[in-house]
Amino acid sequence: MNYKEKIVSDPDEQLILVDSDDNEIGYSSKSECHKDLGLLHRAFSIFLFNSTGELLIQKRSIKKELWGQYWSNSCCSHPRKGEDLHEAAIRRVHQELSIECSLNFLYKFQYQEKYTDNGSEHELCSVFYGLYDGTINCNENEIEDWRMISSTQLNEEIGQSNILYTPWLKLEWAEITTKYKEVIENDIGIVI
């Protein structure tokens, strides 16, 4: 099996259950964490920009149980039982996009969103960002398509009802553009 087709996610993998203060309170399978209204668990979202300030976004694979074929941020997933959050984020960027880059923590927030009758996201999500200008080689089990997009274009598309974006991307992008834009720009030397 070539890397582009490697399965990197398992419904039985143990995710970290947390309280609203991010204290670990146990573990449960990925499938249980996303069933019905969901169990609050630790997660992360990553925003990768290139040196011209464009954001890498991905279209989630149709194989995904939740929000398949929706456009989303560069990468998102969960740390597994016993795994450090930052190390999990680096692992997942490599597994989904075949890249390595530095990631910087930005902020943390809690959200809950239901997706049809298939389940829900109920996450305490840490948001990271980074700079990357190299080649992208997507894992086809996770990502159907990808592209680089300007802030202006992303804002326009989020406002259109005919383009599907994940709810967490919309929440995170609004927070980034209103509260953290200068932090990112000053840290990695770009204009977004």
Question: Which domains, ranges and CATH numbers included, belong to the chain?
Answer: 3-188 (3.90.79.10)
Residue from 32, 96, 121, 123 carrying the catalytic annotation: 123
Residue 112 has pLDDT above 80, yes or no: yes
Of residues 159 and 42, more confidently modeled:
42
Residue from 32, 54, 75, 76 carrying the catalytic annotation: 76
Q: Is 138 designated active site? A: no
Q: Is 123 designated active site? A: yes
- What pLDDT, in 10s, does the model give residues 22-35? 999 999 999 999 99
Q: Which residues of 43-73 are buried (b: 16+ CB within 10 A; e: fewer)?
A: bbbbbbbeeebbbbbbbbbeebebbeebbbb
- What pLDDT, in 10s, does the model give residues 65-101? 899 999 999 999 999 999 999 999 999 999 999 999 9
pLDDT of residue 117: 86
Residue 4's pLDDT band (boundaries 50, 70, 90)?
low
